[in-house]
Amino acid sequence: MSTMIRTLAAVLIAGALPYAAEMRVAQPEALRAVTKKVQPDYNPMAKQMRVQGEVEVEARISESGDVTDVKVLNGNASLTSAVVKAVKEWKFQPFQENGKPAPAVAALRFSFKL
């Protein structure tokens, strides 16, 4: 087999292998694993305008327990930025899959009420 064919075969095989899948974590489990929790500030303008409601985000958590990304799933735009900012500062005990640290995705919900 030529070097070019072997290289092409290796690339095709590597592309077919799945990446490490992120485990999904429910909010109660995620909250039990939090080691550093920053509460989101109630946006003063939103508070003055009496904006209330829930914000739902999805936090991507690394194998070491750091939040690497926060995606807004639902919520009023005047409340979501404070949630994203706060959750990016959270730390978690590493989640485990098959006895090894694994990346995770956690759905988190925040409620803003006056």
Tens-digit pLDDT profile for residues 32-81: 999 999 999 999 999 999 999 999 999 999 999 999 999 999 999 999 99
Does any domain span residue 31? yes
Average pLDDT over residues 101-107: 97
Within-domain flag for 26: yes
Q: Which of 85, 34, 32 has its CA nearest to residue 61?
A: 34
Choose among 9, 102, 113, 108: nearest CA to 52: 113
* Tally of structural domains, the chain: 1
β strands within 45-103, DSSP E: 53-61, 67-74, 91-92, 95-97, 100-102
CATH of the domain at 49: 3.30.2420.10
pTM of the model: 0.79
Tell me if 5 is assigned to some domain: no
Q: Which domain holds residue 50?
A: 21-112
Is 94 inside a domain boundary? Answer: yes
Does residue 4 belong to any structural domain of this protein? Answer: no
| Block residue for tokens 């919520």 | 75
